[in-house]
């Protein structure tokens, strides 16, 4: 059974940076597409970024392009989300997710395993 553990959230001022990590265990990490989603209070869970099995292909929602970078280290079974130039509207619980067929889709209902979430708060 695949388990994902999200870490790295916290409180940061606008314009600041955070790096989220998601460590996977119990499966073959290199076969999975990985993604980050986020959910703000009272809102739906939204796609943030995804990455292919090799890491060669990445995809982002428009509002984070140029500010966020998704990456992975298959040797460490870990996916990262580097978040720069953070804005108050980035405040949410961030979740990593694994898609077992290797398709880095933006559709949350395609993902097979989820982390527990990590809170990111951007506020002065």
Residue-wise pLDDT tens digits, 73-113: 999 999 999 999 999 999 999 999 999 999 999 999 999 99
Tell me, what's the pLDDT at 19?
A: 98
Give the separation between CA 42 and CA 49, rounded to whole angstroms: 21
- In angstroms, what is the C-alpha Rg of the chain? 13
104, two tokens: 């880095």
Give the separation between CA 59 and CA 36, rounded to whole angstroms: 10
Q: Which of 90, 88, 46 is CA-nearest to residue 64?
A: 90
Tell me, what's the pLDDT at 1?
A: 86
């Amino acid at each position: 059974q695949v388990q994902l553990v999200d870490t790295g959230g916290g409180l940061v001022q606008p314009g600041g940076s955070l790096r989220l990590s998601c460590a996977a265990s119990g499966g073959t990490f290199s076969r999975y597409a990985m993604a980050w989603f986020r959910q703000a209070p009272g809102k739906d869970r939204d796609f943030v970024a995804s990455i292919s099995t090799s890491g060669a292909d990445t995809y982002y929602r428009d509002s984070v392009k140029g500010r966020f970078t998704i990456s992975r280290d298959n040797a460490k079974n870990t996916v990262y989300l580097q978040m720069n130039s953070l804005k108050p509207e980035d405040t949410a619980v961030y979740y990593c997710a694994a898609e077992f067929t290797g398709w880095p889709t933006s559709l949350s209902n395609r993902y097979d395993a989820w982390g527990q979430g990590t809170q990111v708060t951007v506020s002065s």
